[in-house]
A = this chain, B = another copy of it.
């Protein structure tokens, strides 16, 4: 079949090395940002020579975009699963808890995005204005519905979502600051989770 030629399947080695590369790239890009990271660092990080790395991704930017896209989808999953049929306060609570745990378990992904957006979001600007905006608008409408039904306090849904993003990702993105002020004990994150949940729930629960 000519098919095998027009759509070349990925080699075992290819798939394996690309995975190694993306893993090392997340490590390096999240720590130093796009401009601060070097191809050499990534190559060393995954045990490949620099020319070999550039055999799989021809330009540094290609690696960067690849690791961004590879991580983006998972990052939005919690918001995506906000259920319009659920109990409003319970849904919001679950969203906050899921989001802060995601930040705790994937701080590098959080920092990768933070850095990208902080510096203008040039690589994912299209994604923000397209799929991301669509998703946020959709979920904001759901929240607005709950507000109209009197199930939640009347706050702007978009800004509510921003507030949840900001507070939960704060613990990953600004870790050195958090560490400096309250230390890095494991119970800090648990306390953070409870505090944020309580703050938002009390802020959103209508006074009877």
Q: Which residues in A have some Cβ–Cβ distance to B below 8 Å?
A: 31-36, 111, 114-115, 117-121, 125, 128-129, 132-133, 136-137, 153, 155-156, 158-160, 162-163, 165-167, 169-171, 173-178, 180-182, 191-192, 194-196, 198-204, 207
Please report the C-alpha to C-alpha distance between residue A166 and residue B103 in the assembled complex, in whole angstroms. 14
Task: List chain B residues, Cβ under 8 A from A176.
Answer: 117, 120-121, 125, 128
Q: How far is the CB of A121 from chain B (nearest CB, A)?
A: 4
The list of the 8 closest CB pairs from A to B, nearest first, reads A203-B203, A128-B180, A35-B36, A166-B170, A159-B195, A121-B176, A166-B166, A199-B203
Q: How far is the CB of A182 from chain B (nearest CB, A)?
A: 5
Closest residue of B by beta carbon distance from A153:
B202
Please report the C-alpha to C-alpha distance between residue A199 and residue B147 in the assembled complex, in whole angstroms. 14
User: Across the interface, do B36 and A119 meet the contact criterion of CB distance under 8 Å?
Assistant: yes
User: Across the interface, do B129 and A180 meet the contact criterion of CB distance under 8 Å?
Assistant: yes
Task: List chain B residues, Cβ under 8 A from A156.
Answer: 191-192, 194-195
Q: Give the secondary structure class of A's interface.
A: helix
Closest residue of B by beta carbon distance from A168:
B166
In the complex, the count of this chain's copies comes to: 2
Q: A114-B118, A118-B173, A174-B118 are in contact. Are A181 and B166 (CB under 8 A)?
A: no
Task: List chain B residues, Cβ under 8 A from A162.
Answer: 167, 170-171, 178, 192
Task: List chain B residues, Cβ under 8 A from A165.
Answer: 170, 174
Q: Which of B36, B180, B199, B207 contacts A200 (CB 8 A)?
A: B199
Please report the C-alpha to C-alpha distance between residue A70 and residue B173 in the assembled complex, in whole angstroms. 23
Please report the C-alpha to C-alpha distance between residue A171 and residue B162 in the assembled complex, in whole angstroms. 9
Q: How far is the CB of A138 from chain B (nearest CB, A)?
A: 12
Please report the C-alpha to C-alpha distance between residue A170 and residue B165 in the assembled complex, in whole angstroms. 9
Task: List chain B residues, Cβ under 8 A from A203.
Answer: 198-203
Q: How far is the CB of A65 from chain B (nearest CB, A)?
A: 16
Task: List chain B residues, Cβ under 8 A from A158.
Answer: 181-182
User: Across the interface, do B35 and A181 meet the contact criterion of CB distance under 8 Å?
Assistant: no
User: Across the interface, do B118 and A199 meet the contact criterion of CB distance under 8 Å?
Assistant: no
